[in-house]
Amino acid sequence: MKKTILLLIIFLPFYLTVAQTIKGTVVNDLEKPISNVNIYLDGTKTGTVSAPDGSFTLNLPSANNNSLVFQKDDYETFTISVSQVLNKKLKVVLIKAKEIEEVRIVPYTEAAYKNYIRFFLDSFIGNDKENVRIKNQRSLKFSFDKENNILKVKAPQTLIIENKNLGYTIDYNLVEYIADFENNTTRFMGTSFFKETKSTSKVKLNRMNAYDGSQVHFFRSVYESKVANEGFIVNQITKFPNSKYPTEEELQRLKDFAKTLKSKKTLNVPEDILDIGNRKRNEPPYKIAVTKTQIPESDYTKKTDGKLFLDYDYMMQINFKKFFYELKKDQFVKGTIPIMQTSFLHPEGDTFEIYSDGNTSNPGQLINQGEFAKDKIEKLLPLDYKLGD
């Protein structure tokens, strides 16, 4: 059942304020002020907290398209575009959050936590779990839907993630995490606030290598019309149906048989069902081919009313020749032996606005593969990061 969230924001009469400033108060539904609400630009180091009387002032470093997040544990998180509230006096009403329901058709259980915590950490954090860890990991709630082969994870509390390699602590508000094992897809979305913990030369080097060739780096290059100059090559990929992959009808037969198998507990599997299962495991749904090389930015972007949009009907292949930065005599220099990295983006006719900081509108809806898909939390940098910081 879909839950309706009642969150209110009220624009009070205009007050003369300094440019690029947001002011206001945060209250509950009884008009009582709420203190210590985290108020931040999503994905950045820019933030503040509400005072005992619920008041806050947030000075922005520059014009931006980030979401403004109002977040406090035990309350529903509220987000709104900065462009809607810039230089306005606000009153934000936060509603108490309901406890995650433990008894549902698919419950959140301790067994599911134990069975899938490693998978979750691999797909969410990445490989380096020694230097990147969730400090309050046990607050996570896991549920596994056996019938549909879907894993869901929720976080009743803000996740505190320590990244020693990049020198940040991240307050991460996990909005959604879904792993669909049937279709081999994983998706997670959330809001994040970065706090710098250290900035040594080694940490700066790690940040530079995390940024170089990343999806954020690519979209910043697109926004600035410097894709080729920054070392990216974009090719057009066309998808062709794979005749060997099972049809929708065959996949349904396989699913129906799996239900029968569970109820009868029999190992007698017909040859045609075995064949469908083998083809589903070993054949991709479609085959791909490069049909156009080194396409210009004008092929996959458009400008409307001064805004830049990713607008493309095909899959995009993004190649990047990466030279890892090295620290030599207190100087950051690029190495001499490159590694070719390949990523894929699937806009497939959907339109996404591209922002100057390398973010896009609805980032959770833009499917990526290859190197871009490897950019987990362990490589996550704030959107206000600049190369060399």
Q: What is the pLDDT of residue 266?
A: 58
Q: What is the pLDDT of residue 131?
A: 95
Q: What angle do CA 339, 342, 346 make, to 5 degrees?
A: 165
Task: Name the token pair of 146.
Answer: 């056996």
Measured CA to CA, the distance from residue 212 to residue 380 in angstroms comes to: 12
Q: What is the pLDDT of residue 260?
A: 76
Task: Name the token pair of 130.
Answer: 């020694």
CATH topology of domain 8-93: Immunoglobulin-like (2.60.40)
Q: Is 376 exposed, middle or buried (0-12, 13-18, 19+ CB in 10 A)?
A: middle
Domain boundaries of the chain, sorted by first residue:
8-93, 99-198, 199-240+286-389, 243-283
- Print pLDDT tens along the chain (389 aa): 333 334 455 444 443 334 478 889 999 988 999 999 999 999 999 999 999 999 999 988 766 677 899 999 889 899 988 888 877 788 999 988 875 555 467 888 999 999 999 999 999 999 999 999 999 999 999 999 988 889 999 998 999 999 999 999 999 999 899 999 987 888 888 999 999 999 999 999 999 999 999 999 999 999 999 999 999 999 999 989 999 999 999 988 888 887 776 666 656 788 888 899 899 889 988 898 999 999 999 999 999 998 999 999 999 999 999 999 999 988 999 999 999 999 999 987 789 999 999 999 887 788 889 999 888 999 999 999 999 89
Task: Please tell me what DSSP assigns to residue 196.
Answer: E
Q: What is the pLDDT of residue 20?
A: 76
What sign for the dihedral angle of Cα 363, 172, 380, 388?
A: positive
Measured CA to CA, the distance from residue 381 to residue 375 in angstroms comes to: 10
Which secondary-structure segment (H or E) carries 110? helix 110-124
Q: Who contacts 279 (Cβ-Cβ below 8 Å, separation ≥6)?
A: 244, 245, 246
**Which 3 state secondary structure label does DSSP give 335?**
coil
Number of Cβ atoms within 10 Å of the Cβ of 345:
25
Task: Name the token pair of 73.
Answer: 């544990």
Q: What is the pLDDT of residue 99?
A: 55
Task: Please tell me what DSSP assigns to residue 86.
Answer: T
Q: What angle do CA 376, 379, 381 make, to 5 degrees?
A: 115
Which secondary-structure segment (H or E) carries 67? strand 67-71
